Amino acid sequence: MHKKRKQPWDVLFAIALAIIFGQWAGETGSIFGISFYSLVDTLGSLFLNALTLIVVPLVSSSIIVGISKIGEEKDFGRLGSKMVIFYVGTNLLAILIGLFFVNLIHPGHAIQANTLNVDSEKLHQIQSHLQNNQGSSFIQLFTSIIPSNIVQAFASGNMLGLIFFSLIFGYCISKIDEKSGTSLKNFFQGLFQTMIQFTHIIMKFLPYGVFCLVSKVFMTTGIHSLGSVALFFITVLVGLAAFMFVGLPLMLKIIAKVSPKRHFKAMYPALMTAFSTSSSSATLPITIDCVEKRAMVSNRICSLVVPLGTSINMSGSALYECVAAMFVAQAYGIEMSIMTQFIIIFMSLITSMGVAGIPSASLVAVLIILNAIGLPPEGIGLFIAVDRILDMCRTTVNVFSDSCCAVLIAKSEGEKQVLAQDV
Ligand code: ASP
């Protein structure tokens, strides 16, 4: 049983300290000839590696254990349709909130796109990445669902392939004879519990990991970089906040009839990890732990909804992509008709599903949207400087949205224990 723990304020403290330290030390600060940057970079990478290390065994064992308990085909169908409804529903809500604020605040009208300095090297990198992958990226994503070599899929961290294999594997276990089935189930149950213990050990290092990762970001991205894009920054933040602190809590309260405050408390460690790593995939072990052991969603639902959500339910990213595309249009003085805005909504919905749970993945999605509606791709250079900090915020929203979908589905399946008690 998960040990009860007071709210770890140490993590928030670590973030505040990291921001101050990062700004003070900058990229060049050093001690005894060792640069602070390389120090926090190395230690932060160790923390990230530890998190990524357990993703494959934790996710596969979690899904196999959960699915082997479902077994019935009609249950799969019902849970699958609920997932589609909640994923699309939350993403649409996020995009519409973003669209509302970008039309209200008009951040792009405050700047003159042609007079801005664009980080051309970074832009070039993203553009060539897009050129190499465009068109094939969605097909690649689609074909990666069924990998031809499972060892390779596990080794390369192909999440969709891993989820697909584990789903079918778990389902097949439920169909074999009881004697062999039970020993396999026990094995994966044991593996799952072991990986959860592993997660708890990593969580002990959370404040230190958070400190290193956040100070690294603030050493390279000074607050001054906000400059002319401050209004864009504020629009994205207000949109994300409205979705996370009003939209999702209302859904929790009205549809699931649970206390949003309790859910925030339950998800706190995962949200802090998402914020500091900017990677929903690396946060996945902690998200699973929080949803199952703190929000008390059953393994049957959590094992399905959370890993799949981490791969395709990116509400914060969808909102960001929509606001970014509108921002570029405004900056270039291009009037957006209702029809074009509709295309942006649709494209944000689709591209956010293809975005990987890694830092800055949305930048490529924004380029795809700009290309699709005929906006200048250089426009992305307008906000690259603030992308990293906004990435931390949208990743937090992505993770929170996945956890809300798990709670909503669990409650709709009649799970009374969900958020019945405070953590
Ligand atoms: N960093 C985000 C995530 O991991 C993806 C993005 O760039 O929007 O969820």
Which mutation among 240, 273, 380, 395 tests ligand 1's pocket best, with the greatest number of atoms within 8 A of CB? 395
For 131-171, the pLDDT digits (tens) are 555 555 567 667 888 999 999 988 887 888 888 899 889 88
Residue of minimum CA distance from atom 3 in ligand 1: 357
361 lines ligand 1 (CB under 6 A): yes
Global pTM reads 0.84
Per the rule left: phi > 0, alpha: psi between -120 and 50, beta: everything else, 32 is left
35 backbone dihedrals φ, ψ, rounded to 5°: -75, 140
Q: What is the set of domains in the chain, with CATH numbers? A: 9-412 (1.10.3860)
Rounded CA gap, 89 and 207, in Å?
Answer: 34
Residue 197 exposed, middle or buried by CB count within 10 Å (0-12, 13-18, 19+): exposed
Rounded to the nearest whole angstrom, what is the distance from the C-alpha of residue 239 to the centroid of ligand 1? 16
SS3 421: coil
For the CA of 317, the closest atom of ligand 1 is: 8
Rounded to the nearest whole angstrom, what is the distance from the C-alpha of residue 395 to the centroid of ligand 1? 5
User: What residue type is 243 in one-letter code?
Assistant: F
Please enumerate in sequence order all residues whose Cβ is within 8 A of that of 115, keeping only pairs 6 or more positions apart, or say none. Answer: none
Q: What is the CA radius of gyration of the chain?
A: 21
For 9-29, the pLDDT digits (tens) are 788 888 899 989 988 888 888
pLDDT at 2: 46
Rounded CA gap, 173 and 186, in Å?
Answer: 11
DSSP 246-299: IIHHHHIIIII---HHHHHHHHHHHHHHHHHH--HHHHHHHHHHIIIIIS---H
101 alpha carbon, distance to own chain's centre: 22
For the CA of 279, the closest atom of ligand 1 is: 4
Whether the Cβ atoms of residue 110 and residue 228 lie closer than 8 Å to each other: yes
366 lines ligand 1 (CB under 6 A): no
SS3 199: helix
For the CA of 280, the closest atom of ligand 1 is: 4
pLDDT band with cut points at 50, 70 and 90 for residue 230: confident
Residue 1 exposed, middle or buried by CB count within 10 Å (0-12, 13-18, 19+): exposed
User: What residue type is 407 in one-letter code?
Assistant: V
Q: Which of 203, 358, 167 is nearest to 289 (CA)?
A: 203
pLDDT at 128: 63
